[in-house]
Copies of this chain bind each other. A is one copy, B any other.
């Protein structure tokens, strides 16, 4: 049952009332979780939980959905119960080195937990089900951001860790983007797709694009994804938006039967710039590259099925708008719903860090 109260979506989800361990549906643990948390949280700890959730929200590490890959509400409560308070947790976290294993009820040895939850950077054994990792959604990047935020907060506490967002007026987009090698992809998805599904596909597709670009000789410095009201944007920062217009094509060793055919072919080819010459035992030839721009190349590769992007998004990517060049990217995204995402991508610096830097500069002056 789904409804709205004051613009807030309310979901009522039914579950089976079963003893711990006899789970029938995925949500049967919830009443057990509630009972466990209620039994452990004193009024003081409840306030500490609220502090932690504020900190996680402000540092953009709150939420187990795929878009975030961060800390769920239940996980936050367990972390406070385990550490005994907000500052205590941050002190512990500033000493964490992934993989981190926390087991409030002491039901698994560290070694067992690591074997059970491989590839989880953070393992928090569920007190009501030792076979479940409450932190399974937390990515290594989000865990690391939390560790870093904890370290900086302890050295330099500030309200910006709770308020988040841009504290200060950002520089103009132009001055942020100037001369940077930017490339953006934009398309719409109009039918409803659950956020966890779409974000999973976007993440996989962006990783596939990065891989294909690097295979071709581009260096992907960083990339970001934004989704707003069905409008999707991927922005990539590269070492260059054009491949070199010449490249060395390494041919067969001279002793191979087809070596002479390689020579023949490239001698008479109009896109041969120099050679063939011999380097070691191998033939080389310098060729001219006809298509060099990342947007045209990527469109071609996607059409040819050479990019590992999710099937559901394939058509959307093929008919997407792709632009290369910092001016072109600002033209496409600099005003409108993706503008603040673009500013944040160009800065690539969490709000709490911005404050830390400002403080440092003030202290020095």
Task: Say whether A280 faces chain B, with CB atoms less than 8 Å apart.
Answer: yes
Q: Which residues of B contact A268 (CB under 8 A)?
A: 357, 360-361, 364
Known contacts A274-B348, A348-B274, A140 near B280 by CB under 8 Å = yes
Residues of B within 8 Å of A121, CB to CB, are 281
Binds B, one of A5-13, A81-89, A257-265: A257-265
Closest CB in chain B relative to A315 CB, distance in Å: 30
Chain A contacts with B in 219-272, Cβ cutoff 8 A: 219, 221-222, 237, 239-240, 244-248, 253-255, 259-260, 263-264, 267-268
- Is A279 interfacial (CB-CB < 8 Å)? yes
Residue from B222, B240, B284 within 8 A of A277 (CB atoms): B222
Q: Does A275 contact B (CB under 8 A)?
A: yes
Distance of A310 from chain B, by nearest CB (Å): 22
Q: Is A221's CB under 8 angstroms from B255's CB?
A: no
Question: A-side binding surface: helix, strand, loop or mixed?
Answer: mixed
One of A49-57, A143-151, A294-302 contacting the partner: A143-151
Docked Cα-Cα span, A248 to B259, in Å, equals 41
Which residues of chain A (125-177) have a CB below 8 Å from chain B?
140-141, 143-145, 147-148, 151-152, 155, 176
Contact between B140 and A181 (Cβ–Cβ < 8 Å)? no
- Interface: A180 (CB within 8 A): yes
Specify which of B179, B219, B248 is in contact with A221 (CB 8 Å cutoff). B248
Quick one: which of B253, B279, B286, B349 contacts A237, CB cutoff 8 A? Answer: B286
Least distance between A362 CB and chain B CB atoms (Å): 11
A66 contacts the other chain (CB 8 A): no
Q: Is A283 an interface residue (CB 8 A)?
A: yes
User: Which one of B98, B151, B264, B277 contacts A259 once the chains associate, using CB atoms below 8 Å?
Assistant: B151
Give every chain B residue within 8 A of A360 (Cβ-Cβ): 264, 267-268
